[in-house]
Structure 1
């Protein structure tokens, strides 16, 4: 076992180890509803649902699934934006021992077909607007049941009456033919009892979630996460945010729950601490600013692009953001300038953390109210080990050398669903090889340079995109930047920068090249610059470098 220099950097309030309960993940909801039944659990576009009501609805959903023939271990897909129905379906499935498959509502039929077929899902819960896509995806292999809801199901009066009229006016109204294996969400709940249906689970072995990775490098893989994995990571996150007060916090849920970061650090953490989750079905900077001013959230986990979007909003200074106490940024690297400016605007703390789907997801974070280091992902969570290793030999690199980050802890997955060979490649004696290249300093702070697959090798030199992106982010006219390696007949690869400029800026490629030359070794300076309106991203805000490269390759083929 490695030594643990990071423990010296722990605040006195954070224990290095903890006894995690072995139980169903849904007990977070049961406990909070028992202790704080009248506390508001969810706020959704004016609708308020307390913990008593949320637990009752979740139990009704659990009983509805049992009536439909769903049994312990069966997979239930939930394809919804952040809305009450998604929370009810999630905890209801867990209560009856089912395995949740959280599914991106932006998926096209081909992507959805792979996920449903691979997981063997029997049921899907989705929006009326998405039914056509689901039916295309399941034409070859129909599901046992399709449970359909609409946004208006959980809108307050009179919004619930006006919503379908608005949809018809905009040509978005979808008529669903209920019957057979197509069920209305609200009717299923109304016809099911709210009696407790206690299904025993072996928390260390029984899966709570099959969570699919982004699939940016091929077909998405299902990550098997047990009840113990997710319970542990939720509690680890709570221990790290030690100033959180039970039944006091208000969490802004703009990060999607179908992404494991949003699932753990918003949904599970919010319910565990009896917080109020302010649900936003999609991220839109103006709406987020309005929501912060009116609803006064205290916590706002998110991706760097979310914070960047807020800070570059033309009316940012008109809003009072002072309710924000702490934010954990994940899914991508957090530029230091973004961190500093956001903290100045809010008076709260914004720290960078690190995780991956295979670890439920969080393994590292900077101290929120203690020592942190610029450019670092921080130090390992309680009960979490970290090493920097040579990926082939799995031996530790010399201190300060670059290697692959390996982690172990109670949050690490059981493996990939139906993929034993791929599981063996990344899990070794309880250690997870993350695929990320980085270093660890003598105090245990880790630094991620880049994904192994994103490393640029130009003229024999190793170039880490994140390092170049940090320099570009420092330029006052740059709003967003991504760097990738593109084919070069002489150097093998060359560095290309994809730039989104701030509104009104007119800086050119020569200016940015000169800026980089002053701050980077010459071989790291981007040779090619492409100015764009936007960068392709996942719903969690991670820039898809692979997509940028594919676009370039397609242009080269057709030119």
Structure 2
């Protein structure tokens, strides 16, 4: 915002927090270097047996940057990283950014076909992965045109990564970076609405989001001394946001390599992190863990939820069991974090909170996107902030479809209360139209999660010759014995008839992404192919 226009949510900012924030014009490497210079001896990363102070981490970053530049790395080169969470990921990230390169994020679970699309689309000529992923690179048929840097994240004695770091080259030549224009990250979308697209995030986009968020959480945190549970995958934008956040605090990034609740609980008990940026499915898994004790989570000062809507019942159960509030937020690859629940004062369980400083938001009609809707009405959420992407990589048509006059059209259906708190209803493409009525899956899922026997639930529409679409629910039970009739009775007592699922299926588990987000699209596709009986 150019000036502090009055918005209803401003009243809920913590004392002393302004709608406007001073954001420095620096690169991400300079941001990292600033923390390393001020707090060289603080622990920066704990990765199993590996521990790096900020000065040690910076030395490793600079040595890799020198090795890359020695081999011909140029500003603007794209370097694809296909690694699990690891200190090596962090080193590759900042070494690339120091040289003015663009980091291309690749999910390690991607198939050869998916990897090939991203490498071709991005024009990557450098590739970093563990050895097992090197086979995928070979299978793409692109290996001869790409320099492969092999990493063994479980050892510092094998792989070309540590060989390059051990080389003695002159310090890398400084590269001039324009933070507002130069792209730092290509974050590929999940492809749920079509072919995966590369979101161009500049240095300024990512720096802005740190400084937008910091005033809202800073009063309950200290510099240095905080410890963040690094469980959100770094190849996902949620992971990058949390990494940048702990750098701002000169804190310790405690790495959890994979999304496994037993491993996460073990790390929590050993290192006692103070900041917990988790995913809804992880909170569910922790609550249901038979060995969870109240003291296990007592070290946390701040628990945040992202990547998917947090069921109200899960937040309430977590509060009852641990005494902690889960602070829910909202973000997306194209805009980073735009909303968050205030950490002091008002908490509206079931909402995504309020827009961060320097962020404006409104609800517009779905049909045209031209008319702002009044509080209480459901429409498409649009946002404006310095963290909004530069656009989609080499895709001006798709960019123009979502960026209009500085506003990002998120594709999410939402409403705003009179007080400025926003609630997500669902995705435009996920809305079910049954017999002419609009049905929002999230509303039905909330009702299902309130049932004591429901562990997880996913609701979507399937084709129906009579109604156009009908509602299907796929459910994971906490214990066997609960029947379809009991679920229907539960829903009939709490939902209008047209919202009640007409097809219910029980499964042992639901398909999930690497960040634990339930993959609704996978279930939808199965339902379409089988007529709903999958």
The residue that corresponds to 1:227 in the other structure is: 203
- Please say if 1:239 is aligned against 2:239: no
The residue that corresponds to 1:252 in the other structure is: 229
Q: Tell me if structure 1 keeps the 8 A contact 2:79–2:127.
A: yes
Cα 1:312–1:558 change in 2 (3 A) is closer
- Please say if 1:184 is aligned against 2:160: yes
In structure 2, what is the Cα distance between the partners aligned to 1:447 and 1:487? 28
Aligned with residue 519 of structure 2, among 524, 544, 556: 544
Q: Secondary structure at the match of 2:145?
A: coil
Query: What is the 5 A alignment of 1:106-505?
Result: 106-137=109-140, 139-140=141-142, 142-154=144-156, 184-193=160-169, 195=171, 197-242=173-218, 243-264=220-241, 266-317=242-293, 320-359=296-335, 361-391=336-366, 392-502=368-478, 504-505=479-480
What's the offset of the Cα at 1:347? 3.5
What's the offset of the Cα at 1:13? 3.9
Q: Secondary structure at the match of 2:88?
A: helix
What's the offset of the Cα at 1:240? 1.9
Q: Tell me if structure 2 keeps the 8 A contact 1:379–1:446.
A: yes
Cα 1:443–1:557 change in 2 (3 A) is closer
In structure 2, what is the Cα distance between the partners aligned to 1:13 and 1:208? 32
In structure 1, what is the Cα distance between the partners aligned to 2:339 and 2:27? 25
Residue range with higher mean Cα deviation, 111-120 or 186-195: 186-195
Q: Tell me if structure 2 keeps the 8 A contact 1:321–1:345.
A: no
What's the offset of the Cα at 1:198? 2.6
Residue range with higher mean Cα deviation, 481-490 or 341-350: 341-350
Q: Tell me if structure 2 keeps the 8 A contact 1:296–1:323.
A: yes
Q: Secondary structure at the match of 1:104?
A: coil
Q: Secondary structure at the match of 1:300?
A: strand
Query: What is the 5 A alignment of 1:50-61?
Result: 50-61=53-64
In structure 2, what is the Cα distance between the partners aligned to 1:50 and 1:557? 54
Q: Tell me if structure 1 keeps the 8 A contact 2:107–2:235.
A: yes
Aligned with residue 64 of structure 1, among 64, 67, 92: 67
Aligned with residue 12 of structure 1, among 6, 12, 15: 15
Cα 1:143–1:273 change in 2 (3 A) is farther
What's the offset of the Cα at 1:552? 2.3
The residue that corresponds to 2:51 in the other structure is: 48
What's the offset of the Cα at 1:319? 5.7
The residue that corresponds to 2:104 in the other structure is: 101
- Alignment root-mean-square deviation, CA: 1.8
In structure 2, what is the Cα distance between the partners aligned to 1:130 and 1:510? 47
In structure 2, what is the Cα distance between the partners aligned to 1:405 and 1:142? 45
Cα 1:404–1:3 change in 2 (3 A) is farther
Q: Secondary structure at the match of 1:195?
A: coil
Deviations 1:122-152 (A, max 9, x none): 1011011211112212x05743300001122
What's the offset of the Cα at 1:398? 2.9
What's the offset of the Cα at 1:475? 0.4
Cα 1:388–1:224 change in 2 (3 A) is same
Residue range with higher mean Cα deviation, 538-547 or 445-454: 538-547
What's the offset of the Cα at 1:461? 0.5
Q: Secondary structure at the match of 2:495?
A: coil
In structure 2, what is the Cα distance between the partners aligned to 1:277 and 1:348? 21
Q: Tell me if structure 2 keeps the 8 A contact 1:355–1:364.
A: yes
Runs (5+) with no aligned partner, structure 1: 155-159, 161-175, 177-182
What's the offset of the Cα at 1:314? 1.5
The residue that corresponds to 1:511 in the other structure is: 486
In structure 2, what is the Cα distance between the partners aligned to 1:379 and 1:307? 22
Residue range with higher mean Cα deviation, 237-246 or 311-320: 311-320
Deviations 1:271-297 (A, max 9, x none): 221110110110211111121111100
Q: Tell me if structure 1 keeps the 8 A contact 2:65–2:95.
A: yes
In structure 1, what is the Cα distance between the partners aligned to 2:365 and 2:240? 32
In structure 2, what is the Cα distance between the partners aligned to 1:479 and 1:558? 21
TM-score w.r.t. the length of structure 1 is: 0.92
Residue range with higher mean Cα deviation, 476-485 or 331-340: 331-340
Cα 1:191–1:379 change in 2 (3 A) is same
In structure 1, what is the Cα distance between the partners aligned to 2:80 and 2:523? 30
What's the offset of the Cα at 1:368? 1.8
Deviations 1:183-213 (A, max 9, x none): 7101111114473643221111011111101
Deviations 1:250-284 (A, max 9, x none): 000111011001111x2111122111011011021
